[in-house]
Homo-oligomer: A and B are copies of this chain.
Amino acid sequence: MAPKRTTVRDLRRQNRSTLLSMLFFDGPLSRYELAGRSGLSAATVSTVTGEMVDEGLVVEAGSVDSDGGRPRVLLRVNPDFGHVIGVDVGETGIKVELFDLALTQLAALDHALSPSSPSAVASLIASSVRDVVDAAGVPASTVLGVGIGVPGTVEQGATAVVHAPTIGWDGVRLEELVADASESAWPLYVENGAKTQGQAEMWFGAGRGAKHVVIALIGSGVGAAVVTDGGVYRGATSSAGEWGHTTIVYGGRPCRCGALGCLEAYVGAEGILDRYRKARGRALTGVDEQSTVAALIEAAAGSKTAARVLEETAGYLGAGIANLVNLFNPERIVLGGWAGQALGAHQLDRIVAATRAHALRHPYEQISIELGHLGPDAVAVGAATLPVAALLDRAADPRKLAVRADIA
């Protein structure tokens, strides 16, 4: 059982973490402001920040006048304290990006990838990570960790286990595989790609500032990242948020998961296009799903059928969102994913109206529905936030004593 005790040491770690997180999220702040915001005494702020400055974690960043007295010295997280890497394992390729601690991208790599064995993917990840470090020209020793977003559920445990039916993975111990394929021993953080994308929206996108958010992601598949009390909600075995496979039409359209009437079968890109094909009698043509959906949206101006299919889609989607509202009672819904943003750009009013029609009045009144600010590219940045989150949480180099139980 986890130790439930609290010792004096935990105090310092907790307070370091609080102050470091404030500096990270709320930009440069003086010690004085830190004291005010944190509730800590000026003395403590001084000693704690002093420590972090000595360690190179925090640096001074100019100063601002304070009417009449000693100017305030601004502190901020040292962007060069270390670097983090985010990996987006997609269904058709992997992206590897390297960032500094301010999450500024310093290098990026893309690899197309036909469906391959888990160990082949793991090797590719390991070598690409190596490559991106070389490409960025940063010393290997400054890499604090590697976050990996995968298209499937991830069981967090002693080692992360991935279940990703769309790429044929079932019980893949990706963390072990990548670790075995790498020479370096950087901490690895494997997480569901929807959750990393959600994390990115929370840190840099439409979720900023809110504590209870559901990020609805609609692409080929449909998923959601649920943020409760500021942290990503995982559930008992980290597979929470499988919104796409909730039943919205009992006994309805067959879904690729095998069940009937899943939301994904109606509002997933494939479901939308298939419904159009059935209604119209023939399919739209497009080089890929994404452009076909775009063509459908454009066609809606002239085609009654296209317009009706999209209208219905907005209805289903609104009902699906209303389910999230009723169950999670968030303060904000962020509509993301490439199809979600495309639909939202043309149909947001209708989607909102359908949500209102299906949600209870009280929780509905609490929410705002917004489009995501980031595209699917955000999976990699989101993955890169994982080692940063570990750093903020421990307020210490995550490579040391990497107890990675709850990354939040």
A residues apposed to B, CB below 8 Å? 1, 3-8, 10-11, 14-15, 18, 37-40, 44, 153, 163, 211-212, 224, 226, 228, 233-243, 245-252, 257, 259-261, 266, 315-316, 319-320, 322-324, 326-331, 357-360, 362-363, 366
Contact = CB atoms under 8 A, between A and B. Distances in A.
Copies of this protein chain in the complex? 2
A247 B360 contact: no
B3 A326 contact: no
A235 B329 contact: yes
B240 A163 contact: no
Contacts of A211: 236
A167 B44 CA distance: 53
A224 B266 CA distance: 26
Contacts of A14: 6
A234 B39 CA distance: 27
A11 to B, nearest CB: 5
Contacts of A44: 5
B250 A319 contact: yes
Contact of A15 (B6, B235, B259): B6
17 contacts: A1-B37, A4-B18, A6-B18, A11-B11, A212-B235, A235-B329, A237-B329, A239-B363, A241-B329, A242-B326, A245-B359, A247-B319, A247-B322, A247-B323, A249-B249, A250-B252, A259-B322
Nearest to A331: B236
Given A323-B247, A326-B246, A235 B6 contact: no
Nearest to A244: B326
A327 B243 contact: yes
Contact of A237 (B251, B315, B324, B363): B363
Contacts of A234: 329
Between A251, A362, A366, the greatest number of chain B beta carbons within 10 A of the residue's beta carbon is seen for A362
A232 to B, nearest CB: 12
Contacts of A8: 8, 11
B245 A248 contact: no
B358 A247 contact: yes
A25 B238 CA distance: 27
Minimum-distance CB pairs A-B, first 3:
A235-B329, A3-B39, A240-B329
A44 B8 CA distance: 12
Contacts of A4: 18, 37-39
Given A240-B328, A250-B252, 4 more contacts: A6-B15, A226-B327, A237-B363, A247-B320
A15 B5 contact: yes
A24 B319 CA distance: 43
Contacts of A315: 250
A60 B353 CA distance: 61
Contacts of A38: 3-5
Contacts of A228: 228, 233, 235
Between A153, A330, A360, the greatest number of chain B beta carbons within 10 A of the residue's beta carbon is seen for A360
